[in-house]
Amino acid sequence: MGNGTLIAEDIKKSFTTEAGILNVLKGINLSIDKGEFIAITGASGVGKSTLLHILGTIDQPTSGKVIYNGRDVFRLNNDALAKFRNSQIGFVFQFHHLLPEFSAFENVIIPGLIAGADSRQIEEYASSLFSGLGIYDRRLHRPGELSGGEQQRVAVARALILNPGLILADEPTGNLDTSTGDELFRSLRSLNEDMGITFIIVTHNESLAKKCSRIVHMTDGIIA
């Protein structure tokens, strides 16, 4: 991702509802440097997930720009934007979205195979990710045979398989008990420090947010 800077310029997002127009984001300006480990906090409904989806190019803003390494990504056509998203951004959600009929290992390598990467290299990298995340001996199990924390680590490995410069995580510890959530958080932090990957984490967990390098607090569609 080059120098890895991410800039959001005056991001606004509104939805049309039966009650009228709902303005969810009201002009977000945010600059993130490569290698930062940022928490986005705020009450439910302030637009945290909406912002994360726009930064991840899953959703488009009503107005404003998202600039990666000097490039306005929403000016790319749909194919180029999808290619950019798949190669540069990894996603970890509160619900892991693993495919139940495949093993943990298969779940992780599938995005790499779809992208046309060398299968042996992908398998080797997946093995190293499973080792680094402490779940190597669970790699041949299906998701239903894994604990919640193990499933979420598999989701993290899947997000990392194409070596993105940026990981976006939406309440990644939301379904985990405190100690499992703390462990997962430590794993994310060490990936950030060891690999220089930028992390943006939406969380309600104030104690975890305080361990991030920066907290961005949202209130009513803006950054407080």
CATH code assigned at 111: 3.40.50.300
Structural domain includes residue 56: no
d(CA 120, CA 129): 14
Q: Name the helix (H) or strand (E) containing 32.
A: strand 20-32
Structural domain includes residue 173: yes
Residue 56 has what DSSP assignment?
A: T
Structure tokens at 130: 């499973």
What is the pTM for the complete model shown?
Answer: 0.84
Structural domain includes residue 67: no
Degrees, nearest 5: CA angle 191-197-198 = 120
- Contacts of residue 173, defined as CB under 8 A and 6 or more positions apart, other chains included, come to 152, 180, 181, 182, 184, 185, 203, 205, 208
Structural domain includes residue 198: yes
Structural domain includes residue 12: no
Structural domain includes residue 64: no
Burial of 34 (0-12, 13-18, 19+ CB in 10 A): middle
Torsion of CA 169, 200, 61, 26, to 10 degrees: 120
Q: Name the helix (H) or strand (E) containing 205.
A: none
Residue 77 has what DSSP assignment?
A: -
DSSP string, 138-201: GTTS-GGGS-HHHHHHHHHHHHHTT--SEEEEESTTTTS-HHHHHHHHHHHHHHHHHH--EEEE
Structural domain includes residue 158: yes
Number of domains within the chain: 1
Structural domain includes residue 1: no
Domain of 155? 36-49+76-216
pLDDT tens, N- to C-terminus, the chain (224 residues): 345 688 999 999 998 888 888 888 988 999 999 889 999 998 887 888 899 999 998 889 999 999 988 889 988 888 888 888 877 888 887 676 788 898 999 999 988 887 778 888 889 889 988 988 888 988 899 988 988 888 888 988 888 888 888 989 888 777 777 877 888 888 888 888 888 889 998 988 888 888 898 999 988 888 88
Helices 148-160 and 119-132 meet at what angle, rounded to 10?
140
